[in-house]
Each structure stands twice: as C-alpha cells, then as structure tokens.
Amino acid sequence: MPIVLPHHDGSTLYVSTPEPGAVSLGDTVRLRIRVPQGWGPASKVWVRSIQDGEPRYDAAIRLGSADGWDWWEAAMLVANPVAKYRFLLEVTETHDGAAAAGPVVGAASSSGRRYWNLNAQGLFGRDVSDAADFRLTAFVPAPEWLRKGTMYQVFPDRFARSAQADGHPIPDWAIACAWNEPVVGTGTGASTQFYGGDLPGVAGKLDHLQALGVDVLYLTPFFPARSNHRYDASTFDSVDPLLGGDQALVDLVEAAHSRGIRVMGDLTANHSGAAHEWFVKALADPGSEEAGYYYFSPDHSSYESWWGVPSLPKFNWSSAALRRRFITDEDSVVARWLKPPFNLDGWRIDVGNMTGRLGAVDLNHEVAGLIAERVREVNPNAALLAESTSDAAADVTGEHWQGAMTYSNLTRPLWSWLAKDAPNVNFFGSPQSGPNRIPAEDFLATHQDLTAGFSWAVRQNNMNALNTHDTARAATVMVDGGPEVGAVLTFCLPGVPVMFAGDEFGFEGYNGEDSRTPMPWVGNDLVQDLRSHYSHLAGLRRDLPALTEGGVRWLHAAGDAMVFVRETSESSVLVFVARNTAEVVLDHAALGNAQRAALLAAPLHRSGKVTSAPAGPSGVDNVLLRAEGISAGVWAMPGTTVPVL
C-alpha cells in the first residue's frame, strides 16, 4: 500500500528561516507539517522542542488545505546550537466511536483522542526518545557547491599515466605492474603493486570527467609514501614525485577550475606513515618534540598505530606542538594546500571517526573543531568531509565536519536490497560473507534509522556512494542491473552522489584492494559502458532543482519496489525503482492532481523498462507504475502547493 502519512523532513518546503537556508542562535523559525485529510484528521498539532534540555510545546495553527492535505505551522525558538524538535498530533475519535485511521494498531484513549509523535524516523503512536528528533543547527553552513555537486573519486596510481610517468624510477617498496596486469586483492602485494598513474594523467582525462557531469574531483592521498594507497605519508610538505610533484597538483587544480570542477584532497589526521619525517625523528629521539606527536610506551620500545598496523603510527592530539604544525600554524598541513599556489577546495579527512580517540582519551570533536576553524579561516568556501564508516550522526553534526563519507545509512542497505544470493565479498569488515538480501521495507527502515540523527543540512552533504576504493564493487555484490538502479538512488536521494573511477565501466572487485583496477583507456576491454547512464543522472541533478533542494517523501517501500518524491514548491521529481517485476498503485491521496497527470508522461530517465498508466475506472485519480524486471524511472512533476494564511 502507498505510504500516505503526516510528513515533515527539514527541507525548505517545511522550514522557513529568517534568511533562506541559514539558521542562527536566537532565531525564530516557522515549521510546517502536512497531514493527509484521509488519515485523521488531526484536531491539534504541537511542535515539541528541547530548549536548554527541557521539552517545550508550541501550538501550531492550521494554514489550510491543498491537494488533499491539511497544512499546519508553528513557530520555534532556536535556543541551542542543535535545536531538536518533533511534532505531536492529536487525532479525534471518529463519529461512530472507532479510533481515527493510523498506521499503528491500537485503540483510542478513553477520552476519544489519540496522540502521535512524528520524528525523523517516522510516525509513532507512543512516546519515543529524543535521539531521532528532527534537528536544526546554528552552525556555519557548508558551501552550496558541495550539496549541488556530483563527485568523482580517483585513486591516482590506477587512473591514468602521463607520458612523463615513464621516466619515473620504480620505488624500492614497489612491485612494478603493466597497466593491464590484474590487481592483487589480498596479501602484501595488495599495497605494493605499482601501476604508475600520476596527476598529469588525471589532468589529461578531465574531458572524461566533464562528459560524465562531474563537478567535484576527490583525490585519495597525493603525499609521498611507501604504498600505492599513500595513506602512510612520509611527509605532508610535498606532492609525491611519482605523481608529478607539486607543480603537477598546481596544474591539475588550475585545469579543473577552468572547467568548473573543484578538487578535494584526502588527509590522514589520525596517523602518519612510519617513514614520515616526524616519526623517524620521534623514534630516534624520545626527548624530541616530535616524540610527543605519537603514543609511545614508557620505555619508548613500542607505539600505538592504526588497528595495530606498524606502518601507520597514531597521532597523539594532546600535543600542542602537533596541533600547531598540523592545523593552526600559518603554513600548517591543513592550511597550506588550500592556499595558492595549490588552491584545493577542501579536505576529506581519513578515519575522521578515530581521530583523537584512544581508550579513555577522546579529543575527536576538539580536533575536528580546530581543523574546521582553520579551513574556514583559509577558505570560507572550502568543504570539509570526514570518513566515519558506521553510524556517523553523533560525530557529524555540521559544527565541524560538514558531511560524512559513511556507508551505514545508504550503501549497506542498498547492497542488501540489490544483493545476489551469496556473493563472497568483504561486507564492510563484518564476518558476513556478503550482504543478506532484504525487502524494500527493511531498506527504508534502515535508511530512516541511520539518517534520523543527521540534520537536514548534513544529510544533503553526506557522500552517497555505491562503492569506494575501500569497498567491494557494486557490480560484484549486486544482481545484474543493480548498479544502474543503485546509481539512480545515489543521485536522487538527499546527499552528494559519488562515482568511484571505474563505476562507469562496470568494474568488479570483492574487496577494496581488488576494486582498484586501472582504467581501460586503451583497447575495448570494457566490462560494461555506463557512461551515458551516469552523465544523464548528473544532468538531472544539474537541471532539476528538486534533486538538490527538495525534501524527500516516501510513497511506497515493500518487497521488490520503492517510490519516493523529492519536492519543492516550484517543482518535484518522482523516483520509482524495482529489483524485479513489480506493480505499484499510487493512491490519489499521495500526490496532487497536476502531479498525477504529469506521471502519465514518459519518464525523464529510464533504466530497464518502466511504464505508468491510469489505474482503475477513476482515470488519473490513481496511477499504476509497472516495472518489467529490474528497472528505474524518474519523472518530473509540478511543485507542491503550500497554503498561506
């Protein structure tokens, strides 16, 4: 059955602020909720906010009705930097004594009234904790280009070799490989295979990125190191000569900027490499300043490292000297690459969730705050994202990190919904041999559960990835056609869609290392050519404001099919995805008259075979969506009407 329930999501359709998109401490904001007339009707509505730790209830007024919905509005004071709120709805017993309609079975109270709580996780006929309340945050907003962007991740060693790469010596740690040689997914060779991709090679393929609709290029680390992944930096002061050196980065950023493409770097704030100049000095001299940058045993015979990997010694952020050198100095690591001549547009912070944490020590938010403040000082229009592979909401409030590279709220449940029967892949480090296949209702429940802790602003900045350089490839995990359908969701749900180099060619891989296949620039050895699919999705995000500005309202999620709408007052987009042959009837209450009529036109984007038609004798009052096999469709519709007093 279609989901037609009271709705609010924190987008501008439901939140009116003194300045569009900006919230400041002490502001009074207007919050709207829509209630389907056939559901209740609601007789009273309140906003329940938490102000200085204490619940407060503010009554809403009924704005009026439009397209079968009653709209209510209440004012709320933003009393704290993170303003939490939910809605309390009173539904009156129907005239025949039955409890008013609702999604949860239960009797009305003895007074003939029933109360419902609506938070970011859904609608509940009982009290719920504050953890999943909606959030407004009075923090410095992220740059607009981030939430509107389409991101492309490059692992430099495997992307493209320039002519000058042939002159680079093979480093002593490396196993030289021909470009078409298979990658090693496990063992020591996984980190030491060397294919010789470089930054001039990336610059030479900007036409490819531009044709895909990319406007944010994210580079994994470019510092000198003793591995192909370069997360074990030996210095933060220069670009690896094997990648072309400092000038190669300057040239790449300038070339990207000339095409309207921003460039983000990747920085390890949790650790350095064991060959790093700081660690070499620290290891040799227990009395050195640098020794305080790391965690050594009392006799200096051992040290802490990331996950016990000796080549990745962990930073001790209690060191004031480390803070100055890495963050706050004029030419610190964080700052210098955002300035001329390099002019990076932001950082992705590796293992941001682990940075500053060790046992009883937790300096994570303190370090994140220092990094964020320094980034804003150098370039207020720079982006700052952090890796946090599990439940990231507690660390990514928007105060410091503007968004998360995370997998729990979208990538993991998406793999599970589209999974093959039993792929033997690395399922995000768990002991599972692969994802267990779940129905659409479990996908939605997981997605809502693990996005509920984010503010709407952060949700728009989170990275939506089918896969990355640290995971198996979607093409290995998912059923045939799954990556195409999954990509529709990463591009159409709130967040920043991410392509990992090779997604457009259907690359496979059973773990992160196995997924880092060199790009097939020479010859016709393509697994699949999905370039037009991705470029069209990027074009939709660029041309349809609802995909970057609109709220999200789910209309159906059961078994093999899901339907949701992204909506603003000016325009809307409906997305229908199915993993198998499926039919969904959208009840007339789900959408407005003009929106239902627009659904009868051909979709703007189609993967597989999807159709729409009037359902039943009532003409376009109900709409039938049908998928023949695994498919997806995207339709443009008019905006949502909000009555005004």
Q: How many helices (H) and strands (E) does the chain have?
A: 17, 28
Identical topology for domains 15-137 and 150-270+322-407+461-543: no
- 128 against 433, higher pLDDT: 128
Please report the pLDDT score of residue 644 as a whole number. Answer: 82
Distance CA 204, CA 574 (A): 37
Topology of domain 15-137, CATH: Immunoglobulin-like (2.60.40)
- Name the CATH architecture for the domain at 546-638: Sandwich (2.60)
Please report the pLDDT score of residue 103 as a whole number. Answer: 43
φ, ψ at 83 (rounded to 5°): -95, 110
Residue 465 has pLDDT above 50, yes or no: yes
For residue range 88-118, list pLDDT tens digits in order: 999 986 544 443 444 443 344 555 789 999 9
Distance CA 346, CA 376 (A): 10
For residue 565, the surrounding DSSP H or E stretch is: strand 561-567
CB within 8 A of 279, min separation 6: which ones? 272, 273, 290, 293, 294, 313
Please provide the size of the chain in residues: 645
Distance CA 215, CA 256 (A): 9
Catalytic residue, chosen from 290, 350, 399, 549, is 350
> Rounded mean pLDDT of the chain?
94
Give bridge partners of residue 403 from the DSSP assignment.
385
Give the start-to-end residue ranges of the domains of the chain: 15-137, 150-270+322-407+461-543, 271-314, 546-638
End-to-end alpha carbon distance in the chain: 33
Please report the pLDDT score of residue 587 as a whole number. Answer: 86
Please report the pLDDT score of residue 21 as a whole number. Answer: 66
For residue range 130-185, list pLDDT tens digits in order: 999 999 999 999 999 999 999 999 999 999 999 988 888 899 999 999 999 999 99
pLDDT band at 529 (very low <50, low <70, confident <90, very high): very high
Q: What is the mean pLDDT of residues 388-410?
A: 96
350 catalytic per annotation: yes
Distance CA 75, CA 65 (A): 19
Residue 558 has pLDDT above 90, yes or no: yes
Domain 150-270+322-407+461-543, classified CATH 3.20.20.80, yes or no: yes
Q: How far is CA 567 from CA 5, 192, 545, in A?
A: 16, 48, 9
Single pTM value for the model: 0.95
Catalytic residue, chosen from 266, 387, 549, 567, is 387
Quote the percentage of the chain above a pLDDT of 70: 95
Please report the pLDDT score of residue 619 as a whole number. Answer: 57
Q: What is the mean pLDDT of residues 584-594?
A: 91
387 catalytic per annotation: yes
